[in-house]
Structure 1
Amino acid sequence: MAARTKPTLVIVSGGWHVPESYEKLTAALQSDGYEVLVPRLPSTAPVRPPNADLSTDTEFIRSFVENLVENGQVVMAIMHSYGGQVGTNALYGLGVKARSALGIEGGISHLVYVTASAGLEGSSLETIGVAEDDQDVVPLVFDIAEDGSCLSRDFRALVGPGCSDAETDAYISTLVRWNSRGLWQPLQHCAWRDIPVVYIYTAADMMLPLEHQKTFVENMEKTGVKVQTFELATGHCPNFTATEEVVRVINAVTP
């Protein structure tokens, strides 16, 4: 029997994250034979005031992935945190099944949400999966400058436990300012409606609590979408703190 061909993996970054933030995961996946691409989101560019937001990130990621699938490649999108908002908005209509029905090769095999936003059309990061009485947490969690760029008020809590202080400090040093406008911009599209979905829960997440992660999945399943789920006992950045476990999930769902 011929060995199955591995999909190209595209990591859609979370807020504050750049390609260097995913080097540990990228290296682990490459050692398992994957091609891994981590495009830098325009909203993390070193420009102040920021000149890119969810709309810009959406256009950029859609174009990036379209170029791959138009060349016949099968792509698995691995979306982390805010990257779920971007991928959900950007990747609609690019699934393998939809393209195959049109006689076109290539497409997205799976959307893998890694403790990531997975909302409905019209929802924003500030509202999806969050109760109304939780809306005032934004200024407590995000240090937002007058120009709209922001940092987390506690990157160590964001990353979570699992690595040494020195390793965590090195990871945090890769994180950059991000445009907070993305918190309030609503989704226009929901790619998960017609592309197979995987959701990786992180049980010790201080940024996106487990109950909110499960709300995303429940809302998708209410529309009739089947979601394959995995749960890791780690924080908001399993790409760093639970790298091998994430690789095992990717291997388990690789078509």
Structure 2
Amino acid sequence: MTSKPTILLIGGGWHFPISYSKLTQALETAGYEVHVPLHPSMNGARPPTASLAEDTAATRTYAVNLIEKGHTIAALMHSYGGQVGTNALHGLGTTSRASQGLTGGVSHLIYMTAFALPENGSMAGKVEEMGDSALMPLAFDFADDKTVVSRDPKMLIVGPGDEEEIEAYVSTFGRWNGQAMYDTIERCAWREIPVSFVVTTMDMTVPVTYQRSMIEYIRGEGVQVGVFEVETGHCPGLTGTGEVVGFVGEILGR
């Protein structure tokens, strides 16, 4: 059995595992074992063959396999990855498993400017709730087959940072199934697993008002949420790497 939590990094739309290489390496240097599975919705198929349901199933299978090998997992979720992890990890919490006489499980959910939604919630639904539906076609370029790219990933998705580093980062991006933005989740792992939220104050993809709204909703449901802030854009794993690693260490009690 592993002696400290294993990080299951659940990525966002457009991202491949390689997109998180800087964060992954920093977490590994800090002593964590890190897993970054590829979302089926990022398989490049046109028209798409996978969306939230397939991403949920794949993430749950990956997590269960780690747990069955003796791992205790901290889920670090970025952007759309919050929707996937929220939907996929229910019933896998360490407390829930311990009550069944089982070891391991998911010890913590860390939402890194990620969608922490209620049952039947979706990314697009949150945008509509916040009154910003008209901005969707301005930010995202949807093809006829529903695949989607950002119209300006360097500015809208990443934000301020080292230009050369950002250029290399966005070069790893791929076309994503835009239907996943509209798919709704069925289960909420945050109702049963401890929650923390990394707020990005300069975010143009999931604005800070969205993030605070999600935090307050969860708190309103009687769940404690630890909040950590970093003054950067939507990809703190790239532009606030040290802060994120520090937050993870604090959250997990290292």
TM-score bracket, normalised by the shorter chain, equals over 0.9
> For the residues of structure 2 that align with 1:238 and 1:130, how far apart are their CA atoms?
25
Q: 1:187 pairs with 179, 185, 188, which one?
A: 185
TM-score, normalised to structure 1's length? 0.96
> For the residues of structure 1 that align with 2:130 and 2:31, how far apart are their CA atoms?
44
Residues 124 and 185 of structure 1 are in contact (CA less than 8 Å); yes or no, is this contact kept in structure 2? yes
- Residue 134 of structure 1 and its aligned partner are, at CA, apart by 1.5
User: Hey, what does 1:162 align to over in structure 2?
Assistant: 161
> For the residues of structure 2 that align with 1:34 and 1:124, how far apart are their CA atoms?
31
> For the residues of structure 1 that align with 2:225 and 2:130, how far apart are their CA atoms?
26
Question: Identity across aligned pairs (percent)?
Answer: 46
User: Hey, what does 1:204 align to over in structure 2?
Assistant: 202
User: Hey, what does 1:74 align to over in structure 2?
Assistant: 72
User: Hey, what does 2:148 align to over in structure 1?
Assistant: 150
User: Hey, what does 2:86 align to over in structure 1?
Assistant: 88
User: Hey, what does 2:31 align to over in structure 1?
Assistant: 33
In the comparison of the two structures, how many residue pairs are matched? Answer: 251
One-letter code aligned to 2:94: V
User: Hey, what does 1:173 align to over in structure 2?
Assistant: 171
SS in 1 for 2:132: helix
One-letter code aligned to 1:123: G
Residues 130 and 212 of structure 1 are in contact (CA less than 8 Å); yes or no, is this contact kept in structure 2? no
- Residue 130 of structure 1 and its aligned partner are, at CA, apart by 4.7
Q: Deviations over 1:43-88 (max 9, x none)?
A: 1112111111000000000010011112221000000000000000
- Residue 229 of structure 1 and its aligned partner are, at CA, apart by 0.5
User: Hey, what does 1:101 align to over in structure 2?
Assistant: 99
Q: 1:110 pairs with 86, 108, 111, which one?
A: 108
One-letter code aligned to 1:114: M
> For the residues of structure 2 that align with 1:70 and 1:12, how far apart are their CA atoms?
19
User: Hey, what does 1:245 align to over in structure 2?
Assistant: 243
One-letter code aligned to 2:103: E
CA gap 1:28/1:191 in 2 versus in 1, 3 angstroms: same
> For the residues of structure 2 that align with 1:192 and 1:70, how far apart are their CA atoms?
21
- Residue 141 of structure 1 and its aligned partner are, at CA, apart by 1.1
One-letter code aligned to 2:158: V
CA gap 1:132/1:166 in 2 versus in 1, 3 angstroms: closer
- Residue 124 of structure 1 and its aligned partner are, at CA, apart by 0.9
- Residue 132 of structure 1 and its aligned partner are, at CA, apart by 5.7
- Residue 129 of structure 1 and its aligned partner are, at CA, apart by 6.2
- Residue 199 of structure 1 and its aligned partner are, at CA, apart by 0.2
Which sections of structure 1, spanning at least 5 residues, go unmatched?
none
SS in 2 for 1:127: helix
Q: Deviations over 1:200-246 (max 9, x none)?
A: 00000011110110000000001100000001000000000000100
